[in-house]
């Protein structure tokens, strides 16, 4: 087997263990009910994000793996998974040409969520990558 296979397996194992712990829930004092968990993103989506991020940052190294894991954690602090998933879909689908893409480009919700994701990603990039 190759080193990259074992490295990818290590990343997936590490992330699945991290995503399974749900220690970051905070009670909503005003409502008297627990708030949404900060780390409520499915493991599959976290791993997908980290692998895409690692590829964008020059390949799998300990530093890129750690920083990309940090990035998705920081994004999860700013956006619920539902918001993240919608923003990601709007971002990908806004490139659809013509009227078919207008439903993804033009609505205020689309613009707001894309901006929120872009801002969260920029903040996370600054917080997680040492330059």
pLDDT above 80: residue 113:
yes
Helix-strand-coil percent breakdown of the chain, rounded to 5? 70, 5, 25
Confidence (pLDDT) at 103: 82
Confidence band, pLDDT 50/70/90 cuts, at residue 98: confident
pLDDT above 60: residue 76:
yes
**Dist CA 30 CA 46 (whole Å):** 30
pLDDT in tens, 15-33: 444 444 444 444 444 445 4
pLDDT above 70: residue 92:
yes
For 9-22, give the DSSP string. Answer: HHHHHHHHHHHH--
């Amino acid at each position: 087997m190759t080193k990259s296979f074992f490295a990818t397996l290590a990343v997936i194992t590490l992330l699945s263990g991290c995503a399974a712990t749900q220690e970051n829930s905070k009670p909503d004092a005003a409502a008297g009910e627990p708030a949404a968990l900060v780390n409520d993103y499915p493991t599959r989506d976290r791993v997908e994000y980290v692998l895409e991020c690692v590829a964008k940052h020059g390949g799998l190294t300990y530093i890129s793996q750690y920083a990309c894991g940090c990035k998705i954690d920081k994004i999860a602090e700013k956006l619920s998974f539902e918001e993240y998933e919608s923003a990601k879909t709007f971002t990908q689908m806004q490139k659809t040409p013509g009227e078919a893409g207008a439903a993804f480009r033009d609505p205020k919700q689309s613009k707001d969520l894309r901006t929120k994701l872009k801002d969260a990603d920029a903040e996370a990039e600054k917080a997680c990558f040492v330059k």
